[in-house]
A = this chain, B = another copy of it.
Amino acid sequence: MTPDYFMNLAYQEALKAFDEGEAPIGAVIAKDGKLIGKGYNRIEKPADPTAHAEIIAIGSAASFLQSWRLDGCTLYVTLEPCLMCLGAIMQSRITAVEYAAKDPRLGAVDTFYYQQEIQRSYKRFPLVSSGLMQEQCSQLLTSFFKQLRKKN
């Protein structure tokens, strides 16, 4: 399966978040070309600030593999991961991250200082690529926040 295939699955997860009134961000995890974990942002309903799409996808992949070590796995996510999710990527030893839209405010994966400091402490950093389905994923977020402003 191609990266496009997995990013589209991540987008499908983001749509579920949208339908539940959560900021539409979705993530999936693949290993050896197979889907092994998925999740979408749901911090509002269960009232859990840690329930980002990536954290849920990582938990689900680890549960599937029955191991917290996700070496060799790729995380596909519709928005650039924040600091917490980057930390979870490091803790789980995920090998590669592919994100769609850049988060200019809280995105941590493409931040030079984080990368530098993480290299210093963990002695590694995942492979990062971006841009797949960028427009579609950004647009979904934009329409969500537009709707939200109308309601408030």
Contacts of A70 in B (CB 8 A): 49
- CB of A40 to closest CB in B, whole Å: 15
Q: Give the distance in Å from the alpha carbon of A43 to the alpha carbon of B63 in the complex.
A: 11
Contacts A113-B113, A117-B114, A122-B106; A88 near B47 (Cβ below 8 A): no
**Is B47 touching A62 in the complex (CB atoms < 8 A)?**
yes
Q: Mark A46-59, 1 if CB is under 8 A from B, else 0.
A: 11111110010011
**Is B82 touching A87 in the complex (CB atoms < 8 A)?**
yes
Q: Mark A74-90, 1 if CB is under 8 A from B, else 0.
A: 00000000111111101
Contacts of A92 in B (CB 8 A): 49-50
Residues of A within 8 A of B (CB): 43-44, 46-52, 55, 58-59, 62-63, 65-70, 82-88, 90-93, 105-106, 108, 111, 113-114, 116-118, 121-122
14 A-B pairs within 8 Å (CB atoms) are namely A44-B68, A47-B62, A48-B58, A49-B62, A49-B88, A49-B91, A49-B93, A55-B55, A82-B87, A82-B91, A83-B121, A87-B87, A106-B122, A114-B114
